[in-house]
Amino acid sequence: MQNYRAPLWLPGGHLQTIWPALYGQRVEGRAPRFRRERWDTPDGDFIDVDWLQDTGDAPAGLLVLFHGLEGSTQSQYAQAYAGWARSQGLAYAVPHFRGCSGELNCAPRAYHSGDWQEIDWILRRLRARFAAPGQRLIAVGISLGGNALLRWAGELGEAAAQVVDAVAAVCSPLDLAAGGHAIGRGFNRQVYTRMFLSTMKPKALAKWNQHPGLFDRERLGRARTLYEFDDVFTAPLHGFRNVDDYWDRASAKPHLPAIRVPALALNARNDPFVPASSLPRAQDAGRFVTLWQPPQGGHVGFPCGRWPAGHVMDMPRAVGDWLLDASGLRTKVPSRG
């Protein structure tokens, strides 16, 4: 991915973002099948975790994927990573952030980009399940999920190695303010912001119906940007003073030097959501963090192949192979294809 170049028929960050999400082939062979588990949370709520069914009887490791904003198991990247995990004989789990599995959660909260405590609870529960000697746990976070994952790794420092063996973040806005302002301007506002708010606002209103008076309902109705939405909903529901406090404290970029497990941060420099000027440099990252910043790829796109048979599988392969090498799983899990 460090040397990735997009197909000539998909120029520019917008096409490299939109086409893979809508049209790119996601897996080779049969579509992945999942079974769902519901976990009760310590605060009386629940999350849903989807498990890939097509794995061997004794997988040597587990790949955990934390999805992006309003993502789910149905997202193109979750399907593509399922195909890669299946090819490696790995167990594969997709925990859904609260409210993202198709059913509104119960508590007076949702999810956010810096929710490292939730990441910690999920990963520790998964580690307890995959605790046999020699078993590895690797995790990848996409966009919002990647920021939260690296935020967790930085918060825990050396203790993170007791839980995971390697982590990766793909197209994550590690500087949330830079990303949040970028998505609120021009074409981004007209297309991506509208897309996200079309599902986020109805879920927020359903949350208000669960817990009347939880936030200013009229202000939420007027929100036209993620900045406005996060200021009235996300920030106050999760203990932040306002949106600026939330974006500042939740960003993973300042915490990268504290990471003490192998970590990869992949960001395309033409990502419409994440300005290249906001990306971490080597001196910002620390010795445990590897930075891949190819000039092309869009936001969680990285399409490959010839028209019209393009696919989105090269990015999961590249990131997955890095995780295998960094975690020591390479010697335990020979590829199945």
Point out the catalytic residue in the list 75, 87, 101, 143: 143
User: Domain spanning 13-175+252-331: which CATH class is it, in words?
Assistant: alpha beta
Task: Tell me what the mean pLDDT of segment 48-61 comes to.
Answer: 86
Is 112 a residue of the active site? no
Q: Name the residue with tokens 């301007």.
A: 185
Q: How confident is residue 332, by pLDDT bands cut at 50, 70 and 90?
A: low
- Specify the domain boundaries for CATH 3.40.50.1820 within the chain: 13-175+252-331
At residue 337, the pLDDT reads 41
Average pLDDT, the chain: 95
φ, ψ dihedrals at 138, nearest 5°: -120, 150
Strand spans (E) along the chain:
34-40, 46-52, 61-66, 91-95, 136-142, 166-170, 263-266, 289-292
CA distances from 242 to 3, 232, 254 (A): 39, 8, 19
**What is the spatial distance between Cα 267 and Cα 265, in angstroms, rounded to a whole number?**
7
Per the document, the length of the chain is 337
Instruction: Check pLDDT > 80 for residue 134.
Output: yes
Q: Is 271 a catalytic residue?
A: yes
| Distance in angstroms (rounded) separating the CA atoms of residues 313 and 81 | 8
Q: Which residues contact 302 (CB under 8 A, 6 or more apart)?
A: 1, 4, 6, 16, 20, 268, 312, 314, 315
pTM here? 0.96
Q: Which of these is catalytic: 67, 299, 311, 327?
A: 299
d(CA 225, CA 211): 23
| Known active-site residue 299 | yes
Question: Is residue 212 left, alpha or beta, with left meaning phi > 0 and alpha meaning psi from -120 to 50?
Answer: beta
pLDDT of residue 336: 46
Tokens of 330: 């390479």
Work out the average pLDDT over 126-154: 95
- Which of 48, 115, 231, 271 is flagged as catalytic? 271
